[in-house]
Amino acid sequence: MAGRGLSDDDVAAACKEGDPRTKDYMMQQTMLRVKDPLRSLQFYTRILGLTLLQKIDFPSMRFTLYFLGYEDKSDIPADISERTAWTFSRRATLELTHNWGSESDQSLSYHNGNNQPQGFGHIGIAVPDVQAACEFFDKQGVTFVKKPDAGKVKGLAFIQDPDGYWIEIFSPDKMASIMSP
């Protein structure tokens, strides 16, 4: 494996059928820490089009969670108990965590995972038309890491949120041709 990826056989051997008890598990959320929740909420709702599903405050621990997803606002239950159960039943939500006071701490910045030492890489957002989405992002003043026509892999883009986290922008129906060697 040194110097190259896993073989198909190695991948198949590693990815055996999960334990039957896991059949109802799902990927529910990814959490990002945010410095300024106003900037982040505006970015994720107005620019990327996510919907705020629920805001949960933890006053004794001085932080707030904001759950966002691509859901219809009319589906969000009004009752707080129902809303909480519903929020945590959605697939692939984004949890923004704001530690109170971080917005005024000039020395604070969060590691985006792409600087050294590398770790977390990015989240991905599927769009119908990468070029049209990027034109909109450009007009909104969004920071680009990579535009669709730049780099070795054409047809997808990377942008940054207000905290510098990377977001891959891709069109699902174009990915087969983009990923072909």
**Residues belonging to the active site:** 168
Q: At 167, phi and psi to the nearest 5?
A: -130, 120
d(CA 20, CA 26): 13
Say how many CA atoms lie within 13 Å of 100 toward its Cβ: 9
Residue 154: φ, ψ to 5°: -85, 155
DSSP code at position 44:
I
CA distance 171 to 178: 10
Using DSSP's 3-state secondary structure scheme, residue 38 falls into helix
Q: Is 104 helix (H, G, I), strand (E, B) or coil?
A: helix
